[in-house]
Amino acid sequence: MSHASTAAPPRAWHGLHVLVDDDPRWGRDPVEQARAACAAGVPVVQLRAKHATDRQVLDWARAIRALTRDAGTRFVVNDRFDLALAAEADAVHLGQGDLPPDALPRDVRARLAVGRSTHDRAQLEAAAAEDVDYVAFGPVFGTTSKASEYTARGLEALAEAARRVAPRPLVAIGGIRLEHTAALAAAGAAGFAVISEVAAAPDPEAAARALMLSFAGGAP
């Protein structure tokens, strides 16, 4: 049974989720990446920092929280609900190796929305029974931004995933490029997440704007 009291409405998780991280390939730190995303007007920014200390992640998170608050953008912290709380984020995003959503203390769940990553049918079915606000599914396409033990799932599996988790919003993840976005919307994805398609772009703000425009054009 859901006990969240401050969760955002489902449409808050629709559209483009820009993941900002500490990968040196991008040549910009997470705060710089978030600044460009906010300037583009993206609805969701998610901080993913796998290699930094907790102190560094918290410093980034607090700076990004200030940016996203000013921009009216939802802010999500990956993996760690304690850091999400400390930064006053809107949500925590939990992977399959993280603390299960239903294990979050009641007072934490009342303060944070929760996203959940899934990669196969069993995980989707489990997520559908969990107290989560949105579900991510993928990789829809092959991804080079991070290592994955899962093969590309494709658009047909994405459409099935959207049906399985409804009415929760489904967010497509994994290897997404500009040319994919209209098809994601047509398959039933409420939103989609990218890393390199924005982070590696010469003009990240323009790249984010193009992604949002294309996705909106493909929505039914």
Domain membership of residue 5 (yes or no) is no
Q: Which residue has the tokens 């996705």?
A: 215
Domain membership of residue 182 (yes or no) is yes
Q: Residue 49 sits in which domain range?
A: 10-218
Domain membership of residue 128 (yes or no) is yes
Number of domains into which the chain is organized: 1
> Residues of 3-23 as b/e, b for ≥16 C-beta within 10 angstroms?
ebeebeeeebbbbbbbbbbbb
Give pLDDT, residue 10: 74
Q: Count how many Cα atoms sit within 13 Å of the Cα of residue 151 in the half-sphere of its side chain.
A: 1
pLDDT digits (tens, 9 = 90+) for 44-69: 999 999 899 999 999 999 999 999 99
Give pLDDT, residue 149: 75
Domain membership of residue 158 (yes or no) is yes
- DSSP 8-state secondary structure symbol assigned to residue 101: G
Along the chain (220 residues), what's the average pLDDT of each consecutive run of 10 residues?
A: 54 96 96 99 97 97 99 98 98 96 94 97 96 97 72 96 97 97 97 98 98 87
Give pLDDT, residue 220: 64
Domain membership of residue 2 (yes or no) is no
Give pLDDT, residue 4: 42
Give pLDDT, residue 11: 87
Phi, psi of 193 (to 5 degrees): -120, 140
Domain membership of residue 1 (yes or no) is no
Cβ within 8 Å of residue 218, ≥6 positions away:
181, 182, 183, 184, 185, 186
Domain membership of residue 113 (yes or no) is yes
Domain membership of residue 81 (yes or no) is yes
Give pLDDT, residue 2: 43
Residue 77 is part of a domain; what is its CATH number? 3.20.20.70
Helical pair 154-165 and 121-128, crossing angle rounded to 10 deg: 20
